Chain A
Amino acid sequence: MITIDGLTKRYGGFTAVDHVSFTAPAGRVTGFLGPNGAGKSTTMRILVGLTPASSGSAHVLGRRYGDLPNPGREVGVLLDASAQHGGRTGREILTIAQRTLGLPAARVDEMLDLVSLTPQEAGRRVRHYSLGMRQRLGIAVALIGDPAGLILDEPANGLDPAGIRWMRDLLRGHAERGGTVLLSSHLLHEIEVIADDLVVIGNGRIVASGTKAELLTTAGTLVRTREVAVLSRALAESGVATAPMDGGLRAEADAELVGRVALAAGVPLLELRAAEGAGLEEMFLELTADTQRDHSPTQIGAVA
């Protein structure tokens, strides 16, 4: 379990992390979602003791990270897959971790096998690695100590869709065996594939958190009709808020209520269903809209 309580980090007058509190429970994959510069990485660095906090506390498995006698055996950490000496081979980087943690040498090959790096690739120097290969190597370093907790910053960056699916299965399996997984991403689609719970951060503050199911429920109902104006007026009269989406409406009510309103208004429907991911995406954009760096179409496109 990872517990963050009232964590704050100030750089001069700038507050990078502002009273952040959340818990990543054991047995679940917790996704830490937010746009670039929202404070995800700073929070994670504080969590593992690389950055001192201004106030608040962070505990991993019930202890401060610095109090863990051999941290790598209890918490696997991947903060930046590119933060490696380019002149070392992948195998050498794993060997350094294996030796530091005091593990049997065979563990290096087991890990290479687990993350699907071939012996040839493992013998190459990391400066020649693609980002996807670096991520796999970083995951291998994080997992080598067979830790109960995993803290991964943007681990899916640079992975292809098959790689993201592989990572999902790996992290899901870890959580199912009782492990704690905290991973961050600035890409909603990436994280909603992998995570059970979501913590959304914007401008250093937690703006939403809960299980993915909870956040989906609050995302409302998608309804499509050729008579959008009529339906939206009818819904408004029934006190249901709506927002235009994908040639239809997203209504903040369950499907049954929307259906009844449409029936009463005599509006034929083309589609009526829970808004699911699409709603969550809109929620993410909404929640972070006033904390985005900019509102240009390219930025929104990148998040979507």
Chain B
Amino acid sequence: MTTIASTPADTGTPPASSPARVRATDVAPIPFARIVSVELRKMFDTRSGFWLMGSIGILSLLATAAVIAFGAKDDLSYGAFAAAIGFPTAVLLPIVALLSVTSEWSQRTGLTTFTLVAHRGRVITAKAVCAIGVGVVSMVVAAGIGALGNLVGSTIAGVDTVWDVTVAHLALFILAHVLGMMIGFMLGVLLRSSAAAIVGYFVYSFVLTGLTELLAFHQQWFAEIRGWVDFNYAQGALFEGSVTAGQWAELGVSGLFWLVIPLAVGVGLVLRSEVK
């Protein structure tokens, strides 16, 4: 007991110099671009985040090297490299997107994030922008590594360099990966737990595809409607390089059920839930 409170009369005098040099009237709202840049930084500023992104680059290089080392000479083409690089990136990118959301809850950083930016919708939108941006940039980098591999590989093998992938095809390829990334993002928003979302993602992309494959094999009715209900299957057309109007429609309808609606539900939960 070292101090006694000052009398209430003391509080009547206005403070000579306020710590709040910034008053409510002259505080500008936080611009959206700033939230995006901060969220982008948060994807890379931890060791796990850095290595997750780094591993995509490293795996792209390894996949390229593997095609050069083990691929048959006749098969050396840009398509072969793109397919080899596509697999590790397709698996890892959705996890990058998913963790950017779930870490706010699993690591409890949301306590700070959502008090500095009180509107959670802005934070989630910024994270979505980052996820799509990182997805596109990663795929362009991977495509560049693949192109380099195609040049080097064909030179080493002494065969003609084959460019069998059009720009349009590449764009569809990137779109497919961005959609995959958004699935990861959606699971992150919906489940808000790193462990649950990663398990959910692997169930969705590996277990579920096997089950629907099996179902389509045995049940004719399912095989006929599969494109409309199976988002994974509908995305297959994007990898083929040509998409018919019907396939776009199937992609849209299945995407509505597997991506848009769960994402909307997840965002609704995020906006209402308690951050602890």
A contacts, CB < 8 Å to B:
25-28, 45, 48-52, 61-63, 65-66, 68-74, 77, 79-80, 82-88, 92-93, 96-97, 99-102, 125, 141, 145-148, 174, 176-179, 192-193, 195-197, 211-213, 216, 276-277
Contacts and interface: CB of A to CB of B under 8 A. Distances in A.
Contacts of A77: 115
Given A69-B27, A211-B8, A84 B272 contact: no
B116 A71 contact: yes
Interface stretch (B42-50, B79-87, B130-138): B42-50
B111 interface: yes
A264 B24 CA distance: 62
B15 A177 contact: yes
B4 interface: yes
B34 A147 contact: no
B118 A68 contact: yes
A100 B3 contact: no
Contacts of A174: 19
Nearest to A147: B20
A147 B46 CA distance: 28
A141 B118 contact: no
13 contacts: A27-B11, A49-B114, A68-B27, A72-B116, A73-B22, A73-B27, A79-B111, A83-B107, A87-B46, A88-B46, A96-B112, A177-B16, A196-B6
A151 to B, nearest CB: 9
Given A71-B118, A83-B109, A85-B46, A45 B11 contact: no
Nearest to A68: B118
Interface in B82-103: 103
Given A63-B24, A70-B28, A87-B46, A212 B115 contact: no
Contact of A48 (B19, B109, B115): B115
A179 B18 contact: yes
A211 B5 contact: yes
Interface residues of B, number: 54
A102 B28 CA distance: 10
A264 B8 CA distance: 37
> 4 closest Cβ contacts across the A-B interface?
A178-B15, A148-B20, A87-B46, A83-B108
B31 to A, nearest CB: 8
Q: Which of B14, B19, B272 has the most CB of A within 10 A?
A: B19
A99 B20 contact: no
A209 to B, nearest CB: 13
Contact of A212 (B5, B28, B111): B5
Nearest to A61: B24
B7 interface: yes
A69 B30 CA distance: 7
A174 B17 CA distance: 10
Contacts of A147: 19-20
Nearest to B14: A178
